Structures are given as structure tokens and as C-alpha cells.
Amino acid sequence: MNQEQASTSFGASSTHIHLPEKDMANMVLSELKRISGEYATAALEANDSNIRQVFKSLLFRTLQDQTELYAVLSENDAYRGGLSMASQQDVQNELQNQAQSVNALRWFVEKHLQSDEITRSTIHPAYAGQSQSMQNPNRELQHAYSSGAADRAT
């Protein structure tokens, strides 16, 4: 930036400042993110079902706008430069950690629902097929990993 441009940008308050496109778009993205949060809170706390529905609609549109604007900006490689991809190893570690937790959660839910007569009769058929995990959750987990690793190897 030369001296003349600098004095234009940071000079008297009456000077109109033109933000670079990227900064302007980022500002809109930030606003969309902030407003999404406000609409989500408003929808969750609305007492009237019609008002809740309006807030949900406005939230949905705001999320769509954010997706669309981000897609336009992502076409520019320079904009994507700020994103770093997680390593395959980190993804695998997270998968292992979370798969154990999910399996334990599945086991916990089934165990307690099965122990109650009324809830046992209402368990969804698709869910009932997972009862093996109650007997040996680790075995199912190991099977899921070995098949996943085989898929990746091919």
C-alpha cells in the first residue's frame, strides 16, 4: 500500500472506506454465524409454536445462506489456505476412542431399556438386532475395526 492509499484508508472519518472483498464477505459470514446462534436460541425458548416455527425457518435460511456464501468463497484457493486437514492418524485415533464410547453407550441404553417391561415392548425392531453388544461389546467393536481396515486396504 503506498502512502496515498494509506492516508485514504486511515485518514479523516468522513472518508469512505472500501473493504477488500474477502473482508466484506468474512464479515457477512461472521454475522450469519452469530445470527444462526440467536435464531437457534430463540426457537428453543419460544413458547408459542407458530413463533417457534418462524424462528426455525429463519434459522434454516440463515444456515443455507452461510453454506452458499462459503461455497462461493471456497472456490478461491487463497480463502481455503486457512484450513488445515486432520491427519489420517488423528482420525483413526478419534475413531477408536469414540467407537468404544458409542458401544458402551449402546450397551448402557439397551441394558436399562431391556430391564423395564414397558420400554422393552416398545424398542424399535432395528435396535433390537443390536442386542449382541450387550453380551460382548468389545467383540463387536473389534469386528467393526477389522472389516473397516480391510476396506481401506483394498
Q: Where do contacts with another protein occur on this chain (CB under 8 A)?
A: 18-19, 21, 24-25, 27-28, 31-32, 34-35, 38-39, 41-42, 45-48, 50-51, 54-55, 57-58, 61, 65, 68-69, 72-73, 75
Q: What single DSSP character describes residue 85?
A: P
Cβ closest to another protein, residue 64 vs residue 97:
64
Minimum Å gap between C-beta 6 and another protein is 20
Minimum Å gap between C-beta 19 and another protein is 8
Grid cell of 2 as nine digits: 503506498
Minimum Å gap between C-beta 77 and another protein is 14
Cβ closest to another protein, residue 51 vs residue 91:
51
Given a contact cutoff of 8 angstroms between Cβ atoms, the answer to whether 120 and 114 are in contact is yes
Our CA angle for 135, 152, 136, nearest 5°, is: 5
Residue 82 to residues 43, 74, 79, 85: CA-CA distances in angstroms? Answer: 32, 11, 7, 10
Minimum Å gap between C-beta 11 and another protein is 19
Given a contact cutoff of 8 angstroms between Cβ atoms, the answer to whether 80 and 99 are in contact is no
